Structure 1
Amino acid sequence: MVRLLLWLLGLCVLAVGLVIAARENDGFVLLQWSPWRIELSLNFFIVVLLLGVAALYSLFHFIDALLRMPARARRYRLRQRRQRAVTALRDSARLYFEGRYGQAQRSAKVAVEGGESPGLAALIGARAAHEMRESDQVDAWLAQASQHEDLRTARLMTEAGILTDRRDFADALTRIDALQSGGQRHVAALRLAMRARRGLGDWVGLLRVVRLLQKHRALTPEQAAPVRRQAHMGALRDADPSDLDAYWRDLPALEREDAQVVRAMCEALIADGQQAQARKLIEAQLDREWDSALVVLYAETDGSDVQARIGRAEAWLRVHPGDAGLLLALGRLCRTQQLWGKAQSYLEAALAVQPTRGVHVELALLHEHLDRGEDARSHFRSAALMG
């Protein structure tokens, strides 16, 4: 406020000074251009000169503005287009997360055409098209995104995720390998690699990825256990028989105690004819942790020590008297040993505890061997009805 008053005071003093100076100024200006002669007071001449300069300046400024108008109009249109593109990019992301994938693609197209982060907009469009199962559109969006090298990591991650969802696991792993070629461990990429290697049945690679994810604390032990178990079971199923012992020795002790892994190892050993080794593994596992499904496999091993296995199984029965799997295993072992009465007793006990197709088949075979045709057919029918 004080500054404004000082300015007003200064202007008043200046105006008074100019008036006094003009009153005391008797000078004149003589303009002669034959045959004309003009005489003006100096004060009037100064006023006319100042007004003329101001008029010329205004005229030139107006002409310059007219000449600049097309460029200014272009810049204005570009600013408007850029603003629309920024809004479209923001809308495309929002619409994608809202699940409105068609509108997300349209907004992404506006953003690309407006030049606002076209690579990022193309990736959003690709993901939206993938959600709508529009494969051709996905490929077109990804082709646009590939022109922007600064978004290489984002593009490879998007491609890997889309290819994994398409179950094109080999190509997905190619993108993931390219992403990690610099030695960087990308946790999200490792998660995709886990899915892809599981889909391909690359069990050794799956185990390696699971261990890396655990190392980076991206998987809890509870989350890793079923994946690791599946990988071991698949690897044992596909392993060459000559490599079984080496594979088993290389397993960590804790993983060798997993009942399902032990079962897969025993099945592989039985298929290779290594019956004695399979029985030892089953007995050690059952002594450590009871597994009803594993004891059924115990009866499927061939060999001459059936009587010893029956004795071992009957000792288990005293600890687990109502276990249907154990009763079924004892019935099979007794049938193999031609202990028909004991076999029938154990199998009927198993049937009473838990009727299953396997028990009906065993009873049917037993009755068939004992020439009880009607009982055998009855159990075969029951087994067939149970699928």
Structure 2
Amino acid sequence: MAAKRILLGITGGIAAYKSAELVRLLKKAGHSVRVVMTRGAEAFVTPLTFQALSGEPVRTSLLDPEAEAGMGHIELAKWADQVVIAPASADFIARLANGMADDLLTTLCCATEAPIAVAPAMNQAMWGNHRTQRNLRLLQDDPQVTLWGPDQGEQACGDTGPGRMLEPLVLAGLVAGQPPTGVLTGKRVVITAGPTREPIDPVRYISNHSSGKMGYALAAAARDAGAEVVLISGPVAIPAPSGVEVRNVTTAADMLKASSEAVDVGCDLFIASAAVADYRPQSCESDKIKKSSEQMALSLVRNPDTLATIAARADAPFTVGFAAETTDVARYAIDKMQRKKLQMIVANDVSVPGLGFNSDNNAVTVFWPDGQASIGPDSKQRIADRLMALIGEHLDQATG
């Protein structure tokens, strides 16, 4: 690959120490690298570190008397073939998204015509904050900007979740146009997540306690394993994983339609982690039902079975189901796997306090026709990562 002129922007965050390795990898690959640091970045790593690794002076000031004509932002903006911001803090993302130019790094981003890659790095709560997500949506709509990451896992503060900066080796590969490789590289994965809502009238509906956290963690794990991921999500209150196509649905009928359409265009692996309502009201009233008596009877009819429908297709992908049970978990899960002709099923006991619905943790047992494995208790993201490795292994055997 032809060498590039890489402008590496480093903002304030503990992940700034990883950027030193990124500079080393980029230089090793033959690229020219110049580094711009914000004041916050200087609090974590000294400019001298990056000067030694890049062989170039590190820029920190907007009006630099040592720069050509004293305007370093214009000089750097014209020089760069690619701008990479790693780590990109929540503060920097907010300023970039809103077109601010209040320091050297944001100013050169406004002045450059080069593509800008942003590698977010922040606490999981900051990543999930609605203001951060709003700013990210603005960047996603910007044709000049690409988001790289974030990763999921343990964070310096002790939290676990999305927000980690991608590893330097992955970022260096992305600069070279080489996406991360993993057990699902080249595969297309469709995942369902969250609850469904079955309307009774314009105000009320039937639903369940699913938060969607397990399905969203699986989508991130599949993405990190190299897959192209379509996430079909019922109504949830959590941010979508970056790099994943999300299709929002409400009812069980909606979920079946969206799942079928996603599988129609090609699917190697279908994972049904959504908690789909088994029944819906026979009719949905057009107006709010008023209190008129001490009792009210509600007639329910069976919903279509998304999992069984996908598994029964002539072109069925490798299909993995989920079973949330409160008693006799193994027996019910194995029966469901056999009845619906699934390749694997993931079972968990949702009656255990602190695990399953609405929790950040879980413990599951995975069954397949000639074996089983237990995973957890652990965070849902760690369980998702281990599940994806296990599923990928079985998928490889089935298609190999």
Query: Given the two structures, how large is their TM-score scaled by the length of structure 1?
Result: 0.33
Higher relative strand content: 2
Higher relative helix content: 1
Query: Given the two structures, how large is their TM-score scaled by the length of structure 2?
Result: 0.32
Which structure has more relative contact order (CA 8 Å, sep 6+)? It is 2
